[in-house]
């Protein structure tokens, strides 16, 4: 079995993350850094929309005597594999505001975890990769990655 830590965040932190997320989403919408064909974790893009789009494309190809192919990917431990440097680099290339870059750098930097079982708590260990599961920022940061 594989256990993935869930981030337990204070209420004030959750509110702040939502504000930052709004700023990031606004920037992404105006710059189109994340392609419109990316349906996961995108506002206004549901699985149903993607299925309808796929069916239309296959039908159009069939009507024109063309073949259709489909590749489905399931990235194992997707959130765990995110390299912080890549997110920050892509945000820098995407001309995100400096303040947002600093906030995200701080958000990802020096993350640690510890485990508590039956009243026994482990030492803190660093988490050098990944985005925290349970944070509203994580899906969008994963898309940027």
Q: What is the pLDDT of residues 87-114, one digit of tens each?
A: 999 999 999 999 999 999 998 998 888 8
Domain that holds residue 29: 11-37+74-144
Q: Is residue 50 part of a domain?
A: no
Q: Specify the pLDDT at position 77.
A: 75
Q: Specify the pLDDT at position 7.
A: 57
Tokens 């912080």 belong to residue? 84
The total domain count for the chain is: 1
Q: Specify the pLDDT at position 3.
A: 62
Q: Is residue 59 part of a domain?
A: no
Please compute, for residue 98, the number of CA atoms within 13 A of its CA located in the half-sphere on the CB side: 0
Q: What predicted TM-score, i.e. pTM, was given to this entire model? A: 0.67
Q: Is residue 94 part of a domain?
A: yes
As to burial, measured by CB atoms within 10 angstroms (0-12 exposed, 13-18 middle, 19+ buried), residue 66 is exposed
Q: What is the pLDDT of residues 41-59, one digit of tens each?
A: 667 667 788 888 889 999 9
Pick the closest to residue 54 from 40, 74, 43, 70 (CA basis): 70
The number of beta carbons lying within 10 Å of the beta carbon of residue 42 is: 20
């Amino acid at each position: 079995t594989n256990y993935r830590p869930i981030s337990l965040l204070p209420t004030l932190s959750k509110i702040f993350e939502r504000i930052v997320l709004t700023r990031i989403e606004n920037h992404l919408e105006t710059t189109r850094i994340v392609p419109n064909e990316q349906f996961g974790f995108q506002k206004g893009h549901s699985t149903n929309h993607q299925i309808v789009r796929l069916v239309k494309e296959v039908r159009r190809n069939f009507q024109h005597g063309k073949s259709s192919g489909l590749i489905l990917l399931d990235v194992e431990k997707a959130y765990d594999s995110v390299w912080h440097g890549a997110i920050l680099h892509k945000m820098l290339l995407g001309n995100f505001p400096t303040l947002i870059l600093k906030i995200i750098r701080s958000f990802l930097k020096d993350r640690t975890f510890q485990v508590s079982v039956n009243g026994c708590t482990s030492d803190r260990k660093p988490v050098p990769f990944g985005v925290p599961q349970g944070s509203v920022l994580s899906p969008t940061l994963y898309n940027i990655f």
